[in-house]
Amino acid sequence: MAPKPKTTGQVEMLQPFVRGRAAAKAFFDDLSSVADIEVGELKKMLDGLQKLAVRDLRSKGSFTLHSIGSFHVKTNAGTTEGPGECHGKQFTRREKPSRKHVICKVASLLSDKVVS
């Protein structure tokens, strides 16, 4: 007999936490049981969602999953090469390229359900 899901507040704990490949399998099994969709169809849907996210982040710089969070591209400025002086010593500052990072801001609705 299968164990019943444990409830903590409004969040249902379907399976205990696992790591590695078992975590991916548990994730897809949980989603397929909640949404009543086969695992293969669910993987295709999530792959499509990933493609949409990459496209929007590259073109617009932001992507929003409603009631989950929003993703934004943040660019850190680089430095230029040039002379410098520190404590009376001359040195040449190396050039550093700018870097891009993807930042996720969690929706307040999700945050309130998890934290409280």
DSSP string for residues in the chain: -PPPPEEETTEEE-S----THHHHHHHHHHHHHHHT--HHHHHHHHHHHHHHHHHHHHHTSEEEETTTEEEEEEEE--B--EEEEETTEEEEEPPB--EEEEEEEE-HHHHHHHH-
The CATH number for 61-116, chosen from 4.10.520.10, 1.10.1200.10, 3.10.20.30, 3.10.270.10, is 4.10.520.10
Q: Considering the entire predicted model, what is its pTM?
A: 0.64
Range list for CATH 4.10.520.10 in the chain: 61-116
77 and 98 Cβ atoms separated by less than 8 Å: yes
Q: How many other C-beta atoms can be found within 10 angstroms of the C-beta atom of residue 15?
A: 15
pLDDT in tens, the chain (116 residues): 455 555 445 556 556 667 788 888 888 888 888 888 999 999 999 999 999 999 999 999 999 998 889 999 999 888 888 888 888 888 887 888 889 999 999 988 888 887 87
